Amino acid sequence: MGKVRVDANRCSRCGTCVLTCPAVLFVQKEKGAVPTTVREGFCISCGHCAAICPEGAIAHMDFPSERIRPIQRAHLPSSRQVIELLRARRSVRVFTDEPVKKDDLEAVIEAARLAPTAHNVQTTAFTVVQSRELLKQIVQLTADFLARTGQQLRNPMARALLHVFSGRELKGALMVLPEFDLIVQAVREGLDPILRGAPCLLVFHAPSETVLPDTNAQLAAQNATLMAQSLGLGSFYTGYVLGASKRDKRIPQLLSIPRGHHVYAGLALGHPRFEFANWPDRKPAMVNWL
């Protein structure tokens, strides 16, 4: 038996599976014929065929019946609710001391894992950091990285040898160099300008040798921020920690990130101390209509 099977007795010959399969596994030799499968080795196990078949005539080895669930359309938000959620979501950097409940963290991760991934690789993994000691060490290691990088960027000879930055990244790093100094000084004074005292850090990582691991992680992180917002949690993107994790092995090692995985995103999470009652408008969209 192959990976995908079409039950001819239940199939209505509508051809929906043929039209929706992204890997073009199904063919319908003539109108009204039962679709057959070809090139099953190209199947990316997205589940489109089993999910969309109106007659439930497709059996997929990776999706037994218990893994195909009905969409609860009554629970779907309206377009107005979606846009209001997007308007309300803001980067939050002032948190209470209340820890984030495990149920809420699991809901955030569930939203993140449902994000689309290139070629349906689904390789994004998650590390949850709640230990105050580990969080302090991450802050210190990030500040150490910024201090060391700042020194190298100011030295023309060292800058020429600084291959950890691409040309575009180097230009951006030089622009924010004064911020590096402020952050490093603040950490030396016992402050936390990096995680802002957040009680939780969610790290997104994946094998580097896969399809678009960075993009997949960013999509997962955006899903996570929206779920966090809906749960009354605040979050912000931990760019400095990401930069340090990409170019210094100490943070991934501290967090026991699996060998071969790279860190591609991070979110600080916690209960916001303040609530935004308004949303400031953003720049108009730059659109080229063709």
What pTM did the predictor assign? 0.91
DSSP assignment letter at 155? S
Model pLDDT, residue 158: 62
Q: Note whether 59 and 5 are within 8 A (CB).
A: yes
Range of the domain at 56: 4-67
pLDDT of residue 163: 55
Q: What is the mean pLDDT of the chain?
A: 93
Q: Which backbone phi and psi does 281 adopt, to 5 degrees?
A: -65, 155
**How much is the pLDDT for 178?**
87
Which residue type occupies 19?
L
One domain, residues 51 and 155: no
CB 99 within 8 A of CB 200: yes
Look at residue 83 in the predicted model and tell me its pLDDT. Answer: 97
CA distance linking residue 20 with residue 48, whole number of Å: 7
E strand or H helix that includes residue 125: strand 125-129
The reply to whether 166 and 263 lie within a common domain is no
Same domain, 44 and 167: no
Residue 202 in domain: yes
Q: What is the pLDDT of residues 223-255, one digit of tens each?
A: 999 999 999 999 999 999 999 999 899 999 999
Q: Look at residue 72 and tell me if it is in a domain.
A: no
In a domain, 74, yes or no: no
Q: Are residues 165 and 125 in the same domain?
A: no
Residues 184 and 203 both lie in one domain: no
Query: So what's the pLDDT on residue 239?
Result: 95
Q: Please count the structural domains in the chain.
A: 3
Mean pLDDT of 88-100: 97
Looking at the domain assignment, is residue 231 inside a domain?
A: yes
Chain segment 160-219, per-residue pLDDT in tens: 655 555 566 667 777 778 899 999 999 999 999 999 999 999 999 999 999 999 999 999
* pLDDT value of position 198: 98
Q: Are residues 88 and 204 in the same domain?
A: yes
pLDDT of 41 over the 90 cut: no
Query: Quick one: which of 112, 68, 73 has its CA closest to 235?
Result: 112
Instruction: Please identify which residue in the block is written with the tokens 């850090």.
Output: 201
93, 221: one domain:
yes
Is 99 a domain residue? yes
Among residues 35, 67, 99, which one ends one of the domains? Answer: 67
Please enumerate in sequence order all residues whose Cβ is within 8 A of that of 56, keeping only pairs 6 or more positions apart, or say none: 10
- Find the range with the poorest average confidence among 35-39, 136-140, 242-246: 35-39
